[in-house]
């Protein structure tokens, strides 16, 4: 499995070796030893899956302390543009984002650490999206950012008229005033390598 740093070093892309022949394919979708080598200690407790059609955008979501979440995300079928926004106040990358195309054929995955808002938009006709979380979903800790906030300037690779969001996601606030994630507490060394 290849592990690649992104423009924000705490966000990593994992791409497995897919072995295939006329019978089908095989690959390792998760290896604890690789996570520990490249990230540190992560204990996943919940797996989630969603199915969406082209243009559906889910996000940008995060959970506030004490229920912060890290995610290892991938596409089972189809293609999405996956986005992680650094919301760690004081981070050198604060307010910047990483965009990574996740593809069900490539089987690549993106590591989204605590202190990042996360979302994706479906680029194919439909996509099945799957992810591991290291904390349980807690509705009382939900937070989010408006997907098209000009302060973030995210290029979702689709025309805005082709993007569909839920009423809830369409009403999220813009990027300002998030104080929940000080970089001193939410950098990789502090969270995963203790």
Distance from C-alpha of 153 to C-alpha of 165, rounded to nearest angstrom: 17
Based on the residue annotation, tell me whether 136 is a catalytic residue of this protein. no
The answer, yes or no, to whether residue 174 has pLDDT greater than 90, is yes
Residue of 61, 97, 118, 192 marked active site = 61
Show the 3-state SS of the chain.
CEEEECCCCCCEEEECCCEEECCEEECCCCCHHHHHHHCCCCCCCEEEEEEEECCEEEEEEEECCCCCCCEEEEEEECEEEEEEEECCECCCCCCCEEEEEEECCCCCEEEECCCEEEEEEECCCEEEEEEEECCCCCHHHEEECCCCCCCCCCCCCCCHHHCECCHHHHCCCCCCCCCCCECCCCCHHHHHCC
The confidence score (pLDDT) of residue 177 equals 75
Annotated active-site residue in 38, 67, 97, 131: 131
Domain ranges, ordered by start, for the chain: 44-185
pLDDT digits (tens, 9 = 90+) for 86-134: 999 999 999 999 999 999 999 999 999 999 999 999 999 999 999 999 9
Q: What does the alpha-carbon distance between residue 71 and residue 119 come to, in Å, rounded to a whole number?
A: 11
pLDDT band at 178 (very low <50, low <70, confident <90, very high): confident
Q: What is the pLDDT of residues 151-172, one digit of tens each?
A: 999 999 999 999 999 999 999 9
Domain 44-185 carries which CATH code? 2.60.120.10
Q: Which two tokens stand for residue 193?
A: 């390598």
d(CA 126, CA 110): 19
67 is catalytic: no
Contact in structure between 59 and 117 (CB atoms under 8 Å)? yes
């Amino acid at each position: 499995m290849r592990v690649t740093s992104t423009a924000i070093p705490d966000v990593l892309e994992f791409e497995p070796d897919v072995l295939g022949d006329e019978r089908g394919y095989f690959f390792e979708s998760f290896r604890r030893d690789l996570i520990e080598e490249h990230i540190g200690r992560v204990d996943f407790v919940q797996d989630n899956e969603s199915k969406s059609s082209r243009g559906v955008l889910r996000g940008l979501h995060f959970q506030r302390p004490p229920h912060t979440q890290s995610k290892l995300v991938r596409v089972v079928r189809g293609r999405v543009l996956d986005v992680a926004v650094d919301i760690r106040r004081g981070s050198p990358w604060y307010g910047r984002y990483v965009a990574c195309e996740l593809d069900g054929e490539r089987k690549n995955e993106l590591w989204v650490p605590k202190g990042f808002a996360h979302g994706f938009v479906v680029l194919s006709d439909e996509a099945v999206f799957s992810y591991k979380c290291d904390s349980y979903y807690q509705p009382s800790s939900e937070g989010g950012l408006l997907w098209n906030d000009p302060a973030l300037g995210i290029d979702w690779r689709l025309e805005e008229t082709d993007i569909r969001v839920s009423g809830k996601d369409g009403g999220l606030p813009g990027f300002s005033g998030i104080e929940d994630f000080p970089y001193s507490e939410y950098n990789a060394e502090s969270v995963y390598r203790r």
